[in-house]
Structure 1
């Protein structure tokens, strides 16, 4: 569970930071390094979805979801909506965890 807690916390922080930078695109998967500069907001959203994807895979493998409705994990060629879905899942999991801890 400690691994999941770390994934959940990291996913929540990255998602919150990404939300502060608004909506937008993601880097393609798989990403090929190039000499072209990548905007920080795009990189941040991509990182947020990648960590959220790790949480999704962990919950699928260990059955540790608290909200259910686990989205499919990300694959090469995934869409922005699939990336949004794993981030939204991590957000729901975080909110549920905070509500349970605070007794709401």
Structure 2
């Protein structure tokens, strides 16, 4: 991968370029996205927040300045992916149920 890990526009946009997996074996921190905004009216857009957080993390996850330690070397961090995306009459209930199941 070389220096390309520092380029925000290349590679897969996972949180801090962490491994995308649902295997929680020996994981210290799992980042899970819930792209959902069907519970609001006239204010959609929160569903894109999950992707925006991952995108901006590509600019910050490669560096640890001004700290002397790199959290990625100390802890196993993974990107668990997104859960809770649903549509239809039961979308809110389904999102809550699926998110709870994955977070438990």
Scaled to the shorter chain, the TM-score interval is under 0.3
* TM-score normalised according to structure 2 size: 0.25
Please identify which structure carries the higher strand content.
2
Please identify which structure carries the higher helix content.
1
The structure whose Rg is larger is: 2
* TM-score normalised according to structure 1 size: 0.25
